[in-house]
Amino acid sequence: MGKITIKDVAREAGVSISTVSNALNNVDVLNPVTKSHVLKVAKQLNYVPNLNGKQLRSGKTKMLGFFTTSVSGPYFYKLVESMSRECDRLGYGLNVFITKDRHVIMSNILGRRVDGAIIYEELRIDEEDITAMEKEKIKAVFLDRVLQNETMGSVIFDSYVAGYEATKYLISLGHKKIAYISGVDTMFDSVERKEGYLAALRQYQLPTSEDYILQGYFEEEGTYNAVKSFIHLHPDKLPDAFLAGNDVSAIGCIQALKKHGYEVPLDISVMGFDDIDIAQYFSPPLTTVRNQIARQGSLAVNHLVHMIQKKELGSAQKLACELVVRGSSHVKIDRNDHI
């Protein structure tokens, strides 16, 4: 005996296919007696509807797709977890696609494997693809990416303000020589944070210098190496404080400083962005700027579902950030005082 279909249930229950379909989908035109009878037979036969048939006919999958290059690291799993939770709440499933292949993404979206898409910015979908999606009236929400386009949604962090506030905070501690450890230059967050950092320096009339902008690639090891080589190259020009592009980077920075005998935060203050899980347990606990990651996830899903169900266009949403002061930053101490 092969796979049991709606046909088998119909035959066994002595009714038509449409009646079974109506019973299973709670269409209230049925005699309650027939309905419960059909349901009983269906359960008894262990009937499970074939989703491909269902989806083909209805044109809906009740699935949202999250397209990303990676799920590694605290940012992603907080994000995915919150999206998943919100999907659950709204009666959708979440489909996580990890890929860098634009073609895979588009064929899944345009091929209707999902009802809508949430796309992580690093994927950099072209305008051309977005146009294709518009034509098909497909809804999408972009994360961490600003769009020229007004038809799709987006949820971004106000990273410019984050960078600005962080820098302002370091200045308020008395630091004057503040270095920035950059992430990846194609990424929105990274660039915005740097712009905010530069803006704050300018506002307080502090000098900005290319030497004080390192490349850490948002990675622990990348930052470790960058800071290490900075120390070797400019042992005399060490900054008062490092503003790392994210917490992972801040950790790499602190590792490198420790390794070379500097104490954080007494000798040098270090802070990051994101407030990842380990930030508070790290030694020293990280001063950082917290993004509302879970909020971003649930908002993206909410927005997308709204767009799908109300057939509306998307809009750009911006989330505020929050300064978290912990042990890796300290009021500037002039060591010369002690001599």
State the binding partner of 34 from DNA, a second copy, none, CB within 5 to 8 A by kind: DNA
Stretch 215-234: interaction string toward a second copy, x if CB under 8 A: -----x--------------
Cβ contacts of residue 212 below 8 Å, gap of 6+? 177, 178, 179, 180, 239
Cβ contacts of residue 8 below 8 Å, gap of 6+? 45, 47
Is the Cβ of residue 48 or residue 266 nearer to DNA in the bound state?
A: 48
Both tokens of residue 54?
């269902």
Candidate residues 58, 131, 203, 283; the one interacting with DNA per rule CB under 7 A = 58
Q: How many residues does the chain have?
A: 339
Are 269 and 289 in contact by the 8 Å Cβ rule? The answer is no
Is the Cβ of residue 106 or residue 307 nearer to a second copy in the bound state?
A: 106
List, as one string, the DSSP characters of 74-108.
HHHHHHHHHHHHHHHHHT-EEEEEE---HHHHHHH
Residues 76-115 that bind a second copy (CB under 8 A): 76-78, 80-81, 84, 88, 93-99, 104, 106-108, 110-113
Candidate residues 11, 54, 102, 228; the one interacting with DNA per rule CB under 7 A = 54
Q: How far apart are CA 141 and CA 78, in angstroms?
A: 18
Alpha-carbon Rg for the chain in angstroms = 27
**Binding site residues, a second copy, CB under 8 A:** 3, 46, 48-56, 61, 70-73, 76-78, 80-81, 84, 88, 93-99, 104, 106-108, 110-113, 132, 136, 220, 251, 255, 278, 281-283
Q: In the complex, which residues of this chain contact DNA (CB under 7 A)?
A: 2-3, 5-7, 14-19, 21-22, 24-25, 27, 29-31, 33-35, 47, 49-50, 52-54, 56-59
